Each structure stands twice: as structure tokens, then as C-alpha cells.
Amino acid sequence: MLPEDLEALLPALEGFHARFGRFFRRSEGRALGRRYLIGLASPIERKNAENIAERVGAAPRKLQEFLSDSPWDDEGCIGELQRFVGERFGTPCGVLVLDDTGFPKKGSHSAGVGRQYSGTLGRVDNCQVGVFLGYASTHGHTLVDRRLYLHAGWLADPAKRTSPRAAVPADVGFRTKLELASAMLVAAAERGHLSYAWVTADAAYGDSHDLRRLVAEQGRWYCFEVSRDAHVWTTDPGWRTPPRSGRTGRPRTRPRPAPDTPPARTVEALVRELPPEAWIRHRVTEGEKGPREYEFARLRVVEKVHHEPGSGGWLMARRPVGSDPGADIKCYLSNAPETVALAEMAAVGCLRWTIEEDFELAKGEVGLDHYEVTRYRGWYHHITLSLMALAFLKSVQHEWGEKRSPGVGARGAPAA
């Protein structure tokens, strides 16, 4: 995004920001939100409040107070953002993608900061971690929701929990990453602005029986990566509810395995036994890296859920093309019906690249990780505005890619 690009886009950016005007209580807040949004879309290297204030001609202190203290409705903005994304990118076969990312920090005063594992960093380090929801379709993909993870150790420290520099609301308690992810799925379904049929994520989320059940109860299909030691049955395990023991015995409510019930097996063991002809090559798109091909196989299974038989579904496996039997294999579980084609399921299972690309773009183009706020509210405000800026630029990129008009965007789509 070059200065002349931004200047040409200012009218469209003004119209985009106007959609969110009702979520700012005062005219001053609306004006500062507009300036901050312009700053996030501007070609400046470090997009913190001070640099943005200098770029857009705002008072740095006012902009900092707008982020950390002003009570504007960031949740309302997320709802409107999802409406915008649904209008621009929505398709009936859309996919929601769950993942988390780390924000390295040097200090100790930010809400939730501490030594914890970050998949982004690939190690334990001093950082904050956010759980995010992405939306992907044939028209594009972007981030549409966010939650700050407050790890149990941080919340258990009274000095940090009550610190005015973190300012965590008293009613905010510990929630696992899985619970934060579930909350975003519930909120997206209740808002109803995003049209989608699928939900996908890596094994950190896919291993959760409760998360898979939630997606199924919402009437959607999941295609979650799972750990290799996840257990399934390849046939009906034959568990039945035993009859009452005598006339006075209490009625049995939980099913029990019959004596000849076959044991559940790991998904890796089952996949390793598949014959060569079970593997089919499919091409999936991997973002800017271009199309990639993998070999896929699948079979019908019964999931093992909390040590008991669950619903029937698919076990799908993915491996590199032409790999040997000991190659790295990824396994997925899906509740999709038998009529769903393998090609569609394979494409959904590989869509995690969209949210990884969105993290990279958001951090590089709209300052997702450039914030210097320490307060809980400040994190949500900055991240929300970054998600808004990302969705706007992606919609512009999509329009420029389609129209290639001789005016705005004549040089092609922006790098973002």
C-alpha cells in the first residue's frame, strides 16, 4: 500500500468507517477511530499510537486514551465486521478457521503477558497469546474475531490481576483456549452474518471432543486435524445399555461394551494399514506459494468420545505425493455425511493456511502486533481496529483483482 494508493482509497475508507459509527459513543471517539484506521492502513513502519498520531495529525495522548480508556463498543464493531465480510466474501460453503498466535513482549505489565508457549514463536517465551477466528471462501479470507488468552498463572497472581496497568475487569476469569474458541463460534452463529458450512483447525483444537460436538450441534460440518493417537472404531463397537439388574435394580443409563467388542484403534495405525490404491492425489491451493498436491485417503469410522462411542464420521489422512510408508501423515476427523466428496473435504482440511497468511499479513501490513498498550481493553480495541483495516484492504484487493480499472489500482492489487 503506497501513499497514493491510500489517498485514492480515502473515500472508500470513509464509507467503510461510517458503518461502525454507532459503536462510538461520542463524535470525538468516531473521529479518533477514523484516524487510527487510516494510520493502520498507512505505509508507516511501526504502527503504534505515537507513530499513527504523527502520521494522521492527532494528539498522541488522546489516541492512547482512545485505545486504553474510551468505552466504545468493540464487540459491536466485530459484529459489523462480520456483516461486512459476509457481504463481500460470503458463500454457502464458507469455512471458519480457528487458530492462535503469539505477541512477543519484553515487559511484565500487559494483561495476560508471561512465559508461555507460542506456536508462532515455536517455544516458551514472554508473550501474550490471542485466539482468533478466520473466515475463508472462494472469494477471499480474513480474520473476523479475537479473544485474549489469560493463562491461569497470570490470573492467580493478585498483584497482576488487580494491577491498574492491566485493568482486567473483575468479572473476567480463566478460560482455556478451547473455551475462547467455542465462544467465538457461538457468537458467530448467533449473529448470523457469516454464511458457512464448515469449521476447521489444527489438532490443538481438533482433539477436543466438546469442540467437535459444538460444531455438530450447530448444524455444521467439521474437518479437524487430530493427533495420531486419537482413537476410533472402524465398525459399530457394539456398546449397548445393559438391562435392569433384577426387578429392584436401578435402570442402567450408560452403554457398556459387549464381551466381543473390538478395541478402538489409533488413527495412525489405521492409516498405515491402508493399501496403496486407497490414496488419491488432489490439488489444493496454498496461498502465495501456489497450488500444491497431496495424496488423501479416508474411511468411515466411529469416533471415541470421552471413552465411549460417539457418532459416525470420516477419518481422512493426508501425505506428501509419492511419499514412502513412513512419511509424515496428518489425520483429520469429520462429521460430514457420506455424500461429501473427498476433494471438498481435502480442500477444507488444508485451509489452515488462510489464517496463517492472515496473521502474517495483519502483522506486516496493519500493525496487528505493533501495539504498546498494556490494558485489557486496549488490547481488544487495537486488535479490533487492525481486523477492520485488514478486512477493508482485502476487500479492496479483491475488487482491484476483479476490475483492474485504469484508475485506482491500475498497477494491480496491493501487496496486502
Amino acid at 371: Y
Q: What is the DSSP letter of 144?
A: E
Q: Which of 110, 101, 236 is nearest to 168 (CA)?
A: 110
Strand (E) or helix (H) holding 396: helix 376-403
Q: What is the DSSP letter of 240?
A: B
Q: What is the DSSP letter of 322?
A: T
What pLDDT does 242 receive? 67
In order, the DSSP letters of 276-320 are GGG-EEEEEE-GGG-EEEEEEEEEEEEEEETTEEEEEEEEEEEEE
Q: Residue 137 corresponds to which cell in the numbers above?
A: 471462501
What pLDDT does 259 receive? 72
59-82 burial by CB neighbour count: b if 16+ within 10 A, else e?
Answer: eeeebbebbbebebbbeebbbbbb
Number of domains in the chain: 1
What pLDDT does 137 receive? 96
- What is the spatial distance between Cα 318 and Cα 289, in angstroms, rounded to a whole number? 18
What pLDDT does 261 receive? 77
Amino acid at 296: F
Query: Would residue 217 count as lying in a domain?
Result: no
What pLDDT does 175 receive? 97
Are 371 and 379 spatial neighbours (Cβ–Cβ below 8 Å)?
yes
Query: Would residue 29 count as lying in a domain?
Result: no
What pLDDT does 249 receive? 59
Structural domain of residue 307, as residue ranges?
223-240+256-343
What pLDDT does 406 receive? 38
Strand (E) or helix (H) holding 342: helix 342-349
What pLDDT does 407 receive? 38
Query: Would residue 311 count as lying in a domain?
Result: yes
What pLDDT does 289 receive? 65
> Which residue has cell 503477558?
113
Q: Which of 203, 89, 73, 186 is nearest to 137 (CA)?
A: 89
What pLDDT does 285 receive? 75
Please give the C-alpha separations between residue 209 and each of 174, 286, 308, 312, in angstroms, as whole numbers. 20, 28, 11, 13
What pLDDT does 246 receive? 57
Residue numbers of the chain with a pLDDT score lower than 50: 404-416
Query: Would residue 267 count as lying in a domain?
Result: yes
- What is the spatial distance between Cα 254 and Cα 309, in angstroms, rounded to a whole number? 11
Amino acid at 41: A
- What is the spatial distance between Cα 303 and Cα 224, in angstroms, rounded to a whole number? 13
Query: Would residue 333 count as lying in a domain?
Result: yes
What pLDDT does 284 receive? 87
Query: Would residue 268 count as lying in a domain?
Result: yes
What pLDDT does 281 receive? 94
Q: Which of 337, 351, 278, 363 is nearest to 101 (CA)?
A: 363
